Amino acid sequence: MSTSTAPHRIVFANEKGGTGKSTTAVHVAVALAYQGARVAAIDLDSRQRTLHRYLENRNETERRRSITLPTPRFAVFGGESMAALDALTQDMAKDADFLIFDTPGRDDPYARHVATEADTLVTPLNDSFVDFDLIGQVDAETFKVRRLSFYAELIWEARKKRAMATITEKRREMDWVVVRNRTQHTEARNMKRLDAALTELSKRVGFRIAGGLSERVIYRELFPSGLTLLDKGHLGELGTSHLVARQELRSLVAALGLPLPGGREPELALGRIG
């Protein structure tokens, strides 16, 4: 991408907490940095600051170990107006190929604002109907989708407006990707019902479904150091579960289909990671 091109905006958004949103955002950001992309990240959760703290820890590990790690530029938004958010966004977008937003796990006007402006919207969900309720409601007996949620309708309207803007303003169409995290604990019958409901809703709303990151202790263990599964030269000897988790991450980044600098294919570039 040239410096005159607006960065590709990736927004990680879910109004429910505990879905692995920040963990996924950090790992995708670092994966893109490893592929030579210039990445900037904004944490919109000024309370928890999980993405911001993770990357702060990463910088501290670099200093402590005297090593260099691919790391995005990052900031936390603590302003109180859309104008302030837009100003920070404009500043962080300078010379960036990708601009990543990590949003709070709650209803938040700033999160909605950036979600409707996303080029790629990533919504991580745990495999449960509690999380599914964020995007749609199902019948209690048949588990068929009864209606869209308010959030799904919001994104649906934003995508329709974007589709018109792709012609008049030459903007990218919004790609909405629902990422299914923590699938290994899901009981077989429940998973089958979720599969059917997600497939039905994806056809109605237009999102894609991608496999995400399973729940593993490794992600929680990496937070204090700011390291990721891609930093294999700094992680010591890895067990089988770590290697499986890294492959999950590589598959997820490839599934997102993000436009890499120089027009490279994500699958080919990822082959050089790990």
* DSSP bridge pairs for 10: 100, 120
* CATH class of the structural domain 8-260: alpha beta
pLDDT of the chain, 274 residues: tens digit per residue: 334 578 999 999 987 777 889 999 999 999 999 999 999 999 999 999 999 999 999 999 999 999 999 999 999 999 889 999 999 999 999 999 999 999 998 888 999 899 989 999 999 888 788 888 888 888 777 878 888 888 888 888 888 887 776 666 666 788 999 998 865 555 677 778 888 888 888 888 889 999 888 766 788 889 999 999 999 888 877 677 788 888 889 999 999 999 887 766 555 445 455 5
Q: What is the DSSP string of 83-119?
A: HHHHHHHHHHTTT-SEEEEE--SS--HHHHHHHHT-S
User: How many whole angstroms separate alpha carbon 114 and alpha carbon 101?
Assistant: 8
Helix (H) or strand (E) holding 50: helix 50-65
pTM of this structure: 0.88
> What pLDDT score does 2 carry?
38
Domain residue spans of the chain: 8-260
62, 68 contact by CB (below 8 A) = yes
User: How many whole angstroms separate alpha carbon 37 and alpha carbon 95?
Assistant: 10
> What pLDDT score does 70 carry?
95
Task: Tally the C-alpha atoms within 13 A of residue 11's C-alpha that lie toward its C-beta.
Answer: 24
